[in-house]
């Protein structure tokens, strides 16, 4: 109600402007997904308007396309729960590569806790600030790219061991470890993104998801894209991190093309892959292999 009143301050019945209730169908954590679905059903019945279930990952992509003006980019989706390289083809967002164990955001968050960094405003942000400190030196860490997929769990175990061994002795600093971890993880992501660009013949890269706020990741990706004569589409925290607007954006695109969710189908799921969604709002065009 407060959001409606803010959007329509001069209206006594702002709900009359609503045409659909869009909600996150998945993926995500079970508790928040259930709470959201219950609230969405309630509002749909109360206002007698349709429901539209939205894939969280597709929400990120569509918000990114709208916010940056990207037309048909290769997408790097990096967050606390997901790490995927995606390209569009024939009304699906096709996953070209992904993590085979943990998401990059989870890896960064867990390492931040190990070395005692604050959660305010976020562990990943504080790792980024540590890595920027003058004099931070690079140490070699495992680099695990398997075809188009990446693995972070072994790197995390290794860097945790290095931290426990060297921080007490003073032979390495937090800045050294954060800098080395960032450079290694981001280099892996840049590598598989470049391979997807080459395969699909694309010259644009869009970074979405919470980790996409990281300026160093944007800088490394921009260098690669520039060397290929392309452009990078990146955003700040307002659009990278999870937000309701991205669900509304993807939902309204689907709704405008006749997609709604029946009440009996308004369940939610923790497993809902990006390539399971048919993006009927986009043309049925396919990439051309180069």
- Note the pLDDT of residue 255: 98
Element (H, E) at 65: helix 56-68
- Note the pLDDT of residue 285: 76
| Cα dist from 189 to 18, 152, 186, 224, 263, whole Å | 40, 11, 5, 11, 39
Per-position pLDDT tens, the chain of length 290: 788 889 899 988 899 999 999 999 999 999 999 999 999 999 999 999 999 999 999 999 999 999 999 999 999 999 999 999 999 999 999 999 999 999 999 999 999 999 999 999 999 999 999 999 999 999 999 999 999 999 999 999 999 999 999 999 999 999 999 999 999 999 999 999 999 999 999 999 999 999 999 999 999 999 999 999 999 999 999 999 999 999 999 999 999 999 999 999 999 999 999 999 999 999 987 666 55
Nearest to 240 by CA among 77, 13, 91: 77
- Note the pLDDT of residue 1: 77
Nearest to 214 by CA among 126, 110, 286, 92: 126
221 close to 205: Cβ distance less than 8 angstroms: yes
Q: CB-based contacts of 237: which residues, under 8 Å, 6+ apart?
A: 210, 213
Q: CB-based contacts of 160: which residues, under 8 Å, 6+ apart?
A: 111, 114
Give first-to-last CA distance, the chain, whole Å. 51
- Note the pLDDT of residue 3: 85
pTM of the model: 0.94
Q: Are strands 51-55 and 74-78 parallel, antiparallel or unpaired?
A: unpaired
- Please list the residues that pair with 24 across neighbouring strands: 54
Dmax (CA) for the chain in angstroms is 66
- Note the pLDDT of residue 288: 62
- What is the distance, to the nearest Å, from the Cα of residue 18 to the centroid of all Cα atoms in its chain? 27
- Note the pLDDT of residue 205: 98
Nearest to 125 by CA among 23, 240, 24: 240
- Please list the residues that pair with 146 across neighbouring strands: 149
């Amino acid at each position: 109600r407060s959001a409606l009143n803010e959007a329509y301050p001069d209206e006594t019945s702002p709900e009359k402007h609503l045409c659909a209730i869009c909600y996150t169908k998945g993926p995500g954590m079970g508790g928040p997904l259930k709470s959201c679905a219950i609230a969405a059903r309630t509002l749909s019945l109360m206002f007698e308007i349709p429901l539209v279930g939205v894939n969280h990952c597709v929400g990120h992509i569509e918000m990114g396309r709208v916010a940056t003006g990207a037309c048909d980019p290769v997408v790097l989706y990096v967050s606390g729960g997901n790490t995927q390289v995606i390209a569009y083809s024939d009304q699906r967002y096709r996953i070209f590569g992904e993590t085979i164990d943990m998401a990059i955001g989870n890896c960064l968050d867990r390492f931040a806790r190990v070395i005692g960094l604050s959660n305010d405003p976020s562990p990943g942000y504080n790792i980024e600030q540590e890595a920027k400190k003058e004099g931070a030196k690079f140490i070699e860490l495992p680099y695990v790219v398997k075809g188009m997929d990446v693995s972070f769990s072994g790197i995390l175990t290794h860097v945790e061991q290095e931290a426990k061994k060297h921080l007490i002795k003073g032979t390495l600093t937090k800045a050294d470890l954060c800098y080395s971890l960032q450079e290694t993880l981001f280099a892996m992501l840049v590598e598989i993104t470049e391979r997807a660009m080459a395969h699909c013949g694309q010259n644009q890269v869009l970074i979405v998801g919470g980790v996409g706020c990281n300026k160093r990741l944007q800088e490394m990706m921009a260098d690669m894209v520039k060397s290929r004569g392309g452009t990078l589409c990146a955003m700040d925290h307002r659009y990278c991190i999870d937000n309701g607007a991205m669900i509304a954006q993807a939902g309204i695109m689907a709704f405008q093309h006749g997609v709604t969710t029946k009440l009996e189908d308004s369940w939610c799921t923790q497993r809902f892959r990006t390539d399971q969604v048919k993006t009927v709002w986009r043309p049925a065009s396919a990439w051309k292999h180069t």
